[in-house]
Amino acid sequence: MKKVAVIMGSDSDWPVVKGACAQLDALGIPYEAHILSAHRTPAQAAEFAKAARAQGFGVLICAAGMAAHLAGAFAANTTLPVIGIPMKGGAMDGLDALLSTVQMPSGIPVATVAVGGAKNAAVLAAQILAVSDEALAARLDAERASMAAQIAQKEAALQAELGR
């Protein structure tokens, strides 16, 4: 199976980003996690992105706060799909990261999840890999079924509390 690269701009992003790694673990998807910065280590970030396909990666997840533009910088250097996680923090509390991640100019897309949306980034990466992996698609289906079962349980509990 192709690997997922989970890249974050700083170790301060890790408490949120590890949620993506947990989800990848839960789905049995191999990944590597690295700290690489578009502005503090631009050459290493570009080098990683350029080599990613040859290194066996299928999707890149890039998390960064403020206007760091990490996902866009990676997308500029690879045609692998790049998923951006805008991180909360700084004077704008994530709005700056959201806009710098989602508002990519035409031709170099970044699939952007919610501010701090680490779990969804991993699920989206899984869905991309599952296009050509039936076993992974089945695991995603099972996870959806489990979510639905949990809601059904909660609905039953609510109705019981209401005495209906």
Binding site for ligand RP5 (CB under 6 A): 8-10, 12-13, 37, 64-66, 68, 87, 89
Least separation, in Å, of the C-beta of 8 and ligand RP5? 6
Nearest to ligand RP5 of 2, 18 (CB atom): 18
Amino acid at 71: A
Burial of residue 9 (CB within 10 Å: 0-12, 13-18, 19+) is buried
H helices of the chain, in order, are 14-26, 42-51, 70-75, 95-102, 118-129, 134-161
Quote the radius of gyration of the chain (alpha carbons, Å). Answer: 17
CB of 118 within 8 A of CB of 17?
Answer: yes
Cα dihedral 21, 88, 73, 41 sign: negative
Least separation, in Å, of the C-beta of 81 and ligand RP5? 20
- Tell me if residue 131 falls in helix, strand or coil: helix
> What is the C-alpha separation between 24 and 122, in angstroms, rounded?
6
